[in-house]
Structure 1
């Protein structure tokens, strides 16, 4: 006989959350199993609680499917982004971006240049992982030749990489956040500019000042020169190699749909590889699926550019599916609702609702181990409060990125933390103090919330929640 369904109590919610911590720590940190398996095992912990409180297997299967369905757009974006990275490397787009970035480097401004180059690369590709695995690797090698601490270089690389991950219309997390928050993609990006612009400027200044302090202005440029020479040896480098990137960004700025636009960019990459890089047509097209492969004889260049393709995204896609399943299960059996109900009574103004969203995002990274989980927890746990307070959902989507996306590389067992540490060769705890853009993005997000700056309201009732409006109403009642 089926039990009557009920919401989980605090003990049961605590059991699920604690189990998350234990599973993530044991799987990732202790026995080295993939985070995908940790998320998969977490399904069974949540289902165990679901059975206890009256949910059937069918109910929970529907929750899993609903959660995955909510993120299918992000999965498709990832597929097209994988194709795009493969063809853009083959077509000389990414090599040209790296090459022109390297031309501005000198030892004194290297840290700022690394930050700026990774910013441009992440905005052009929409992926922090792809940026760290291409331009980021180059920056680590060059920084090593300058004698700069590797943790500091990694901080500059990751800070720049997450500008695009947070802001680019090509980014899967950007698209997913806008989708889950029910906000137009371009409106979401415009909202984030209020946070990202000052955070980027301050971070750039900090890296410039640090460069003047740490780096000898006459440092060795041989690694940068060798990289540029190798790129020129194996690719045609020219301004028109950047045309596909410019066209894709323009189309997205004109509010064209993300998936066909990125797919069109991938097609252009194949065309550029055939027309300008001398690749056979079938090989140029195949690079969209299997990625780019080169045997240049220069190990550094091979490591830098042998990547991309739809195949390269399969592990991340599996991770997303399991993470979305976790979010769907937590929503289906009421875990998110219990947490949401606790926050509803407390978060009664813009500052508190902003803080709750940031905490819910970090909660998703800490317990779910992935940016995709953090986006779900941040948006779904707190969205009702925004509607209740009459706060525009553009603020919700911006705050979700501020608590979710940028905190991902701060958690050692998250997908971002594991990837960055592995690719860049620097432990998470070592580079953590230098994630200046990420910390500033969180800080400015909270500052806006508690000062009511750039907080938009949807109606007069919501506007009455502004501190100034409340003060005016109080004065009117007492006069």
Structure 2
């Protein structure tokens, strides 16, 4: 049997540097799909693996294991794509846009966006579903009110991620808790002491921004023009919102996510047939191929012409490649070696917290999928928490802050590609306005170094040193 070893830092720096060079050159210089860059990067790490003593069968097994660990994300994305297509066709999303233009004042629009997306995400447990439905509507309303779209996208994402990492229905919440061996409800309670202050600060920032921008560029004629265009192309009535209410209630009652969202897509198909006058087969087809319309308004068309399983295929491929890549990273011990180089400095809750956030972020950067980060980070960091008797709830919280909240910041990650595609603006455009993420990360670091809301399983060496 061949002797296997861990990679050296030189080998890690070279291979990860080559990975980043391929990703940036493909996306920035050559305008090639990120999926191709990730596929090629598989083989770079396969070569590294063979150099470390592994045979190809073992490395392929690591890839398939990584993919199987996060396959639920693919299933959720498929049904979310179907939901988006049929909800636009059924008039659900257009109705939300219309009533938003009708009733939400520009000065409080950003705050309203944050709250609406938060409530939707809390109730449904999916940031992707929230951005694909309420998020699209908020972007259209914001455009009609003349607000900067990156700022609107920041409010959408802040709300969507707030609910996603607090809802017991969220796959990321469950994954972070289970990988850290923590009860889901205990994890949610541990998140609350960080998320509530972060949410209040974020709400204040968006309220101030709303008063600065709201009304300044609002073109009332444009608002009326958009409303008229919606009325001309869709049957707009309050009962158009019934499918949304049904799905939110079912998810709130802890019904399984995939069949619930799929049933919402079916309701969208029925609504498109009954209320929007579409042929049933064509309405059902929007679940796969997405919705298509020509309203004569370029921005409205770009927001409404989307959805469908077909529209999610690019993101699905990214997730598959990212999960496989993460499986290789874990099998070869890449991140473990990086952490071991800083092991001597991990002597306080603050340093351990900061390291956890960095590891989670790097797992997103190199694993290209939020699931990779939430799977790898607890595995890599758990020994450091146990060594100092820091409660695993702190590990789960830090893993989710560093993993879930930074996933949309990486242009080549599953979340980065999905969010940019759905919202219609680049990742780097909305990145500066992901205020909830930045505030949460800052609070997590402050908690770590001050000892605030850092719980211990028993008298830890850290506390003993302080007492002495």
TM-score normalised by the chain length of structure 1: 0.83
* Counterparts of 2:100 and 2:186, CA distance in 1: 29
Give yes or no for contact 1:108–1:217 (8 Å, CA) kept in 2. no
Corresponding residue number in structure 1 for 2:252: 253
Aligned partner of 1:130 among 121, 129, 132 = 132
Give yes or no for contact 2:62–2:328 (8 Å, CA) kept in 1. yes
Corresponding residue number in structure 2 for 1:55: 54
Give yes or no for contact 2:93–2:133 (8 Å, CA) kept in 1. no
* Counterparts of 1:136 and 1:380, CA distance in 2: 38
Q: Which runs of 5+ in 1 are unaligned?
A: none
Give yes or no for contact 2:166–2:173 (8 Å, CA) kept in 1. yes
Corresponding residue number in structure 2 for 1:347: 346
Which segment drifts farther, 402-411 or 367-376?
367-376
Corresponding residue number in structure 1 for 2:459: 464
- Count of residues in correspondence between the two structures: 465
* Counterparts of 2:250 and 2:180, CA distance in 1: 23
Coordinate RMSD, CA, aligned: 3.4
* Counterparts of 2:334 and 2:454, CA distance in 1: 29
Q: Which runs of 5+ in 2 are unaligned?
A: none
| Structure-2 change in CA distance of 1:287 and 1:422 (3 Å) | closer
Give yes or no for contact 1:106–1:217 (8 Å, CA) kept in 2. no
Corresponding residue number in structure 2 for 1:323: 322
| Structure-2 change in CA distance of 1:255 and 1:118 (3 Å) | closer
Corresponding residue number in structure 2 for 1:91: 90
Q: CA deviation at 1:98?
A: 2.7
Corresponding residue number in structure 1 for 2:16: 17
Q: Is residue 143 of structure 2 the alignment partner of residue 141 of structure 1?
A: yes
Q: Secondary structure of 2:405's match?
A: helix
Corresponding residue number in structure 2 for 1:209: 208
Give yes or no for contact 2:315–2:418 (8 Å, CA) kept in 1. no
Q: CA deviation at 1:252?
A: 2.9
| Structure-2 change in CA distance of 1:278 and 1:171 (3 Å) | farther
Corresponding residue number in structure 2 for 1:265: 264
| Structure-2 change in CA distance of 1:198 and 1:246 (3 Å) | farther
Corresponding residue number in structure 2 for 1:8: 7
Q: Deviations over 1:46-104 (max 9, x none)?
A: 11111111000001011001100100111111112212222222333322333333334
**1:5-404 alignment runs, 5 A limit:** 5-119=4-118, 126-127=127-128, 130=132, 134-135=136-137, 137-139=139-141, 141-143=143-145, 145=146, 148-149=147-148, 151-164=150-163, 166-167=165-166, 173-174=172-173, 177=176, 180-181=179-180, 189=188, 191-216=190-215, 219-342=218-341, 345-404=344-403
Q: Secondary structure of 2:406's match?
A: helix
Q: Secondary structure of 1:5's match?
A: coil
Which segment drifts farther, 165-174 or 279-288?
165-174
Give yes or no for contact 2:139–2:152 (8 Å, CA) kept in 1. no
Q: Deviations over 1:262-313 (max 9, x none)?
A: 2233233333333443433333333222222333344333222221121111
